[in-house]
C-alpha cells in the first residue's frame, strides 16, 4: 500500500552505478554520475536526483548522449580553459572541468572553464561545492534550452539557466546558492495543473506572452517567466554568454530539448569559476567570518508563522544529514523504474531488493 521507499544512499549509488556500467558507461564515469544524482537525493533535491537515470539511459540508448566521449581542451591559458564535452554525460564532462578548474586556480588564484557540447550535469550546486575543501569559492552556471521569453516577447528565447555559488565556512554549513532564473520550474506549474489549481500571477505567460494564472495556458504553448522580469532575464542572458558564447557552444534553438528531442544532442554549455580565498585573506579568518555572518543572519527575529531563518543551502545540508542516516526516500514510480533497469542489467538480486525492501507509510514521507 505504501507509495514510498527508503533506501540507504550507498546501495542506491551502487545500483545506479552498476546500471550505468552495464549500459556501457566506463566504471569511473558511472560512479561519477551515480554519486552526483544520489547527492541531489540526499539533499532533498529529488528533481535532480536518480529520477534522471531514465532519461540519461534513454538518451544514451539513442546515441545522443555519448557514453564514452572524449572531453577535449580546445584552448587554455594559465587560468582559463575552453573545454569541448564531446556530447558526453554532463557529470563526466563537469568532473573534468572541475579538475582543470582547481588545477588552474592552484596556479593562478582565479580560474574559469567554459564548456560546450555537454549534457545535463545534475545539480549546479554539486559542482560549485567541489572546490570548497580547497578553500575556494565556486561559481557554476549552465544554459538549457529556451524556456522563457524576453519581457514583452511571445516566444521562448532563453533557458531558465541555473546559477550556483558555494562559499566555504568553518563550523557552520557552507553557504550554497543554487537558483534557476525563472520564477518557478515547470514542475511547480505541472503540480498545480494536476491539482486543478490556479498559479499565482507572475509565474508564467501564455503563448501570446500574456500573464496567466491558468496552468493549462502554460502547458499549451506558454512559457515560464524570468524571476523579477528584466532581472531574471538579464541573469539568464549572462549565463548564455559565459557558458555558450565564451566556449563557442550552442544557444537558442541550437539547444535541443532533453525530454522531447531524441534525435539530437541536448548540446548545452556550462561555465565554472573558482576564487581562491587566500588570494584575498587567510582562509581561516574568512571562514570564521562566514560563520559569524551565518549566525548574524540566523539571529533574525521571526515573522509570524516562520519556524527559523535559513541560509542558502542549509535546508539541503540538513536533509543530507538526515538522509545519510535514515536513507533516501524514493517514490514508488522511481524505485520501480530503477528496479526494472537493475533487473534488465542483471544486478545482484539482493541489491535490487533493497530498492523496495523498506516501504514507508505515505504520511511519514513528507515529500
Among 235, 255, 317, 330, binds a second copy (CB under 8 A): 235
> What residue has cell string 520564477?
183
Instruction: CB nearer to a second copy: give 136 or 347.
Output: 136
* Closest approach of a second copy to the CB of residue 63, in Å: 28
Binding mask 238-277 vs a second copy (x if CB under 8 A, - otherwise)?
x-xxx--xxxx--xx--------------------x-x-x
Q: What is the DSSP letter of 258?
A: T
Instruction: CB nearer to a second copy: give 63 or 211.
Output: 211
For residue 21, the tally of other CB atoms under 10 A from its CB is 18
Report phi then psi at 49, rounded to 5: -100, -150
Binding mask 178-207 vs a second copy (x if CB under 8 A, - otherwise)?
-x---x------------------x--x--
How many Cα atoms sit within 13 Å of 52 on the Cβ side?
24
Burial of 247 per CB tally in 10 Å (0-12, 13-18, 19+): buried
How many Cα atoms sit within 13 Å of 6 on the Cβ side?
14
Report d(CA 367, CA 363) in Å as an integer: 9
- Which residues, 123 to 182, sit near a second copy by CB under 8 A? 137, 149-155, 157-158, 165, 167, 175, 177, 179
* Closest approach of a second copy to the CB of residue 10, in Å: 31
Report the SS3 class of residue 331: strand
Report d(CA 273, CA 68) in Å as an integer: 25
Q: Where are the alpha helices (DSSP H) in 23-67?
A: 27-42, 53-61
* Closest approach of a second copy to the CB of residue 217, in Å: 13
Q: Do 291 and 169 meet the contact criterion of CB atoms below 8 Å apart?
A: yes
* Closest approach of a second copy to the CB of residue 73, in Å: 12
- Which residues, 285 to 344, sit near a second copy by CB under 8 A? 285-286, 289-290, 293, 296-297, 300-304, 306-312
* Closest approach of a second copy to the CB of residue 142, in Å: 16
* Closest approach of a second copy to the CB of residue 365, in Å: 23
Instruction: Give the total of residues touching a second copy (CB under 8 A).
Output: 77
Q: Which three cell numbers stand for residue 278?
A: 587566500
Binding mask 71-110 vs a second copy (x if CB under 8 A, - otherwise)?
----x-xxxx-x-------------------------xxx
Amino acid at each position: 500500500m505504501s507509495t514510498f521507499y527508503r533506501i540507504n544512499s550507498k546501495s542506491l549509488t551502487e545500483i545506479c552505478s552498476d546500471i550505468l556500467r552495464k549500459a556501457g558507461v566506463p566504471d569511473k564515469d558511472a560512479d561519477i554520475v551515480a554519486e552526483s544524482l544520489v547527492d541531489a537525493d540526499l539533499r532533498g533535491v529529488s528533481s535532480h536526483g536518480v529520477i534522471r537515470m531514465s532519461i540519461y539511459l534513454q538518451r544514451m540508448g539513442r546515441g545522443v548522449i555519448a557514453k564514452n566521449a572524449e572531453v577535449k581542451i580546445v584552448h587554455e591559458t594559465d587560468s582559463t580553459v575552453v573545454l569541448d564535452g564531446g556530447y558526453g554525460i554532463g557529470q563526466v564532462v563537469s568532473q573534468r572541468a572541475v579538475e582543470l578548474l582547481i588545477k588552474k586556480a592552484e596556479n593562478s588564484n582565479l580560474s574559469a572553464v567554459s564548456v560546450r557540447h555537454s549534457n545535463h550535469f545534475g545539480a549546479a550546486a554539486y559542482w560549485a561545492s567541489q572546490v570548497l575543501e580547497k578553500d575556494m569559492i565556486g561559481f557554476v552556471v549552465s544554459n538549457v534550452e529556451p524556456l522563457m521569453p524576453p519581457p514583452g516577447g511571445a516566444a521562448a528565447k532563453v533557458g531558465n539557466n541555473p546559477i550556483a555559488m558555494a562559499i566555504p565556512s568553518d563550523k557552520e554549513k557552507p553557504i550554497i546558492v543554487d537558483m534557476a532564473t525563472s520564477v518557478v520550474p515547470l514542475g511547480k506549474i505541472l503540480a498545480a495543473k494536476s491539482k486543478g489549481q490556479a498559479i499565482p500571477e507572475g509565474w508564467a505567460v501564455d503563448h501570446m506572452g500574456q500573464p496567466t494564472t491558468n496552468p493549462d495556458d502554460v502547458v499549451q504553448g506558454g512559457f515560464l517567466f524570468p524571476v523579477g522580469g528584466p532581472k531574471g532575464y538579464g541573469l539568464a542572458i549572462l549565463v548564455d554568454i559565459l557558458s555558450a558564447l565564451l566556449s563557442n557552444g550552442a544557444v537558442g534553438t541550437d539547444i535541443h530539448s532533453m525530454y522531447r528531442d531524441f534525435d539530437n544532442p541536448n548540446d548545452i554549455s556550462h561555465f565554472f569559476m573558482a576564487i581562491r580565498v587566500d588570494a584575498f585573506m587567510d582562509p581561516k579568518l574568512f571562514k570564521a567570518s562566514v560563520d559569524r555572518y551565518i549566525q548574524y543572519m540566523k539571529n533574525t527575529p521571526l515573522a509570524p508563522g516562520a519556524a527559523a531563518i535559513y541560509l542558502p543551502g542549509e535546508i539541503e545540508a540538513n536533509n543530507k544529514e538526515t538522509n545519510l542516516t535514515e536513507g533516501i526516500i524514493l517514490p514508488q514510480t522511481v524505485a520501480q523504474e530503477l528496479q526494472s533497469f537493475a533487473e534488465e542489467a542483471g544486478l545482484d538480486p539482493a541489491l535490487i531488493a533493497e530498492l523496495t525492501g523498506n516501504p514507508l507509510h505515505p504520511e511519514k514521507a513528507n515529500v
